[in-house]
Amino acid sequence: MPDRPHLVRAVKGTRDLLPPGTLLWQRVEDDARQAFEAYDFKEIRTPILEPTALFARSVGVDTDIVSKEMYTFEDRDRESLTLRPEATASVVRSCLEHGLLADGGIHKLYYIGPMFRRERPQKGRYRQFYQIGAEVLGSDHPLIDVEVIEMLESFLRGVAKTGVGEFNLLINSVGCGRCRQEYVKLLRRELEPVKATMCGDCQRRAETNPLRVFDCKVEADQPVIARLPTILDYLCPECRQHFEAVTGELSRRGIAHQITPRLVRGLDYYTRTTFEITSGALGAQNALLGGGRYDGLAELLGGPPAPGFGFAIGEDRLVETIREASRSIAGTPDWEEDSLHIFVAWMDHPAGIASNDLARELRAKRLKVALTYEPMKLKKSLGLANRYHARFAVIIGEQELASGCYQVKDMKTGAQQEVKREEVAAYLQERLGA
C-alpha cells in the first residue's frame, strides 16, 4: 500500500474556530453591532489586500508593524501588496477613494474582520487575528472622543451578557504636529547619552522615531524610560485645551480613567487623544483594545483634511477575557452549549416524508431543527436529541400519522403532550418564546 500523505495543518500562528466555540464569537459580534448602531455607526467592509504603500505612509516605516510584521509580496504585475495589519488606514483610504468626505459632515463607520501580522504567537495573539473597530471622520470635537469611549464602555459592560470583568481606561495626549515636533527634539536630546544602555530596538528608535521608545517592553529599559520627560508637559495651548475637555467630560459622565503620560500607541498617525483599555484577565500582555485621534491621516493619504477618531478591539483577546470572566458566574452560559430548538424523531419511511415537511415548516419560522436521514428506533432518536441539547423532540410514527396528532416531548422535564399536526408549529413557538 502506498504511504498515506502527511496531514496538512493550519499555518503557524493561525487557528480554526469551531462550533460550539463560534457561538460566543457570534454573540460578541452581534452585541458590537447593536451597541455601535445605537450610536449611529454603519458597517464598512474593506479588502483584506491593500497596496503596501498605504501602510508605509500611514502606520509609519519605522514602526514594528511595517518594518517587521507585515505580510508583503509582489503579485504577477509586480505590484507590492500587503495583507492588512490594521483597518483604520483602509477605512480612510476607502472614504477618500469613494468621495465620502467630499460633502463634509461626520461619518461613523465600524468594521469586523481578520488582520495579519507576523509576530510571535502567544496568549490571545495570533498571526491571523480578528478586530472589531470603529472610526469617526469629519470632526476634531473633543465630545466625539468622549462619546466613542462611552460607547466602548457600554459595550464592554454588556458584551455577551457577562461583561469582561474589571477593566481600566488609560488615556493620554500625544499632541499635534507642532507641539510634538518640539517635544521629539527634546526627547532625542535626552536619549542621546543613555541610548547605548538600551535594547537594540530602542537604540534604533532613538534615532528614527523617539516616541516609539515608550512602546518598549524590555524590563531593563523601564528605569531609563521612567526618567524621560512626558509630552503632557509640552502640549501647545490648543492641544492642552482639547485634552482637558476630553478628560473633564469623561469625569462628568462618571467614566473612570487614568491619565497615563507615557501612553503613545504603536502607530505614527495618532494625534492628540490616545487611549487603551486593559484587563487583568489577560496577564502581562493586558491590552484589550486601543485607539485615538488621527487628524492628519487623510492628508497623509493624499486627501483633504478630515479629522478622525477611532479604536480597534482585539476580538481574540476579548473572547478569551469573556471566557475567563464567565468562569466565576454560576451556571453554563448559553453560548457554551450548541443548543437546538427541536429534534424530529421518526421511525419509518412514511413518517420520514411527514418529518421533512414539518422540519421545513418550522425552519421557515426561524426555529433550529434537526432530524435524521434514515429511520431510527425511538430510544436512539431521543438519545440524539439529548446529545444535540434539543429543547423539544417531536415524535412521528405510524400511530401519529394515523391519528393526525404528533407527540411533543419536553427534553428538560420529560413531559410529553399530544398536539394536532396543524398546531405543532404554534405550540412550539409559544413554548420557545420564538
At 189-202, the pLDDT tens digits run 888 888 888 888 88
Kindly tell me if the per-residue pLDDT of 167 is higher than 90: no
State mean pLDDT over 340-369: 93
Q: Could you report the per-residue pLDDT of 6-15, keeping only the tens digit for each?
A: 899 999 889 9
Domain 22-176+236-326: CATH architecture, name and number where available? 2-Layer Sandwich (3.30)
Give the angle subtended at the CA of 118 by the CAs of 18 and 209, to the nearest 5°. Answer: 140
* 269 vs 148, more confident: 148
Give CATH 3.30.930.10 domain extents, the chain.
22-176+236-326
Give CATH 3.40.50.800 domain extents, the chain.
339-432
The pTM score is: 0.86
**pLDDT given at position 161:** 65
Q: Could you report the per-residue pLDDT of 410-432, keeping only the tens digit for each?
A: 999 999 999 999 999 999 999 99
Kindly tell me if the per-residue pLDDT of 180 is higher than 60: yes
Provide CB contacts within 8 A for 350, sequence distance 6+: 398, 401
* 45 vs 325, more confident: 45
Q: Could you report the per-residue pLDDT of 60-118, keeping only the tens digit for each?
A: 766 667 777 899 999 998 999 999 999 999 999 999 999 998 878 899 999 999 999 99
Set of cell numbers at residue 170: 488609560
SS3 135: strand
Provide CB contacts within 8 A for 117, sequence distance 6+: 65, 69, 70, 71, 85, 127, 129
Residue 363 phi/psi, 5-degree rounding, is: -65, -30
CA distance 137 to 42: 12
CA distance 152 to 36: 9
pLDDT classification of 407: cutoffs 50, 70, 90: very high
Superfamily grouping for domain 339-432: Anticodon-binding domain (3.40.50.800)
State mean pLDDT over 395-420: 94
Kindly tell me if the per-residue pLDDT of 49 is higher than 90: yes
* 40 vs 320, more confident: 40
Strands 287-293 and 308-314: antiparallel
Q: Could you report the per-residue pLDDT of 376-388, keeping only the tens digit for each?
A: 999 999 999 998 8
